[in-house]
Amino acid sequence: MVGNEQILEEITACEKLLIGIGEEWRAEGVPDIRSLYEKMNGLIKEKDFFIVTTVTDGEIRKSSLDQRRITAPCGNVTWRQCSKSCTRDIWEPGEIPDDICPHCKAPLTGNTIEADDYIEEGYLPQWNEYTGWLAGTLNKKLLILELGAGFPTPTVIRWPFEKTVTVNKKARMYRIHGKFAQLPEGIKGKADSVSENSVEFFRFL
């Protein structure tokens, strides 16, 4: 049984910290999500960390977490793009007050994978920062916390994290999910699963 103290000790001891945040952390199901991100910041702000999130509500962008250390490859709804994708432009919240594309007059929509033509340029700079950081974790004491990442987009967090813990001989992973905490045979011994909603688990960390 994985205990809270065990994970807190590992956070303290690790050289690098990789956190994956998945669908269990959507704000629509977690009214106090901002306070949880602030708690996370308090726990990890002194660490060499990177966060990968598939959550698109943009709440993590409103937190005190170092925004340079967050990548959101599925986009976020607070950034806007043309719903007709007439331009590769992406606008920040409030930049276009009427939410109408200044080029073609079509409505704007969230810059997320839900858009008909997702404009990926928004997340790519931070993704490049992440991949560079990840390359520097090899042979470092890397702790991986996978929080609530199921199968909507497993190619972003679940499968790459499994590969990372396999390749890095000093890596340790905790997969925490209410329904999908299962681990493949290849990483058992280097990873632990916690069959509990990751938000509730983190709340008492």
Q: What is the mean pLDDT of the chain?
A: 96
Flag whether pLDDT at 3 surpasses 80: no
Residue predicted with more confidence, 50 or 93: 50
Q: Provide mean pLDDT across the span 186-198.
A: 95
Give me the pLDDT at residue 33, please. Answer: 98
pLDDT tens, 136-150? 999 999 999 999 999
Flag whether pLDDT at 163 surpasses 90: yes
Q: Provide mean pLDDT across the span 36-61.
A: 98
pLDDT tens, 98-122? 999 999 999 999 999 999 999 999 9
Q: Provide mean pLDDT across the span 58-64.
A: 96
**Axis crossing angle, helix 33-44 with helix 4-13, rounded to the nearest 10:** 50
Flag whether pLDDT at 73 surpasses 80: yes
Q: DSSP 3-state assignment of 107?
A: strand
Flag whether pLDDT at 126 surpasses 80: yes
Q: Provide mean pLDDT across the span 19-28.
A: 98
Delimit the domains of the chain by residue range.
4-74+123-203, 76-119
Fill in the DSSP letter of residue 29: G
Structure tokens belonging to residue 188: 């058992």
Length of the chain: 205
Give me the pLDDT at residue 94, please. Answer: 92
CB 89 within 8 A of CB 82: yes
pTM: 0.95
CATH superfamily label, 4-74+123-203: TPP-binding domain (3.40.50.1220)
Cα–Cα distance for residue pair 46/169, rounded to 1 Å: 24
Q: State the pLDDT confidence band at 71, using cuts at 50, 70 and 90.
A: very high
pLDDT tens, 82-94? 999 999 999 999 9
Flag whether pLDDT at 1 surpasses 90: no
Give me the pLDDT at residue 4, please. Answer: 85
What is the CA 40 to chain-centroid distance, rounded? Answer: 12
Structure tokens belonging to residue 86: 């007439």
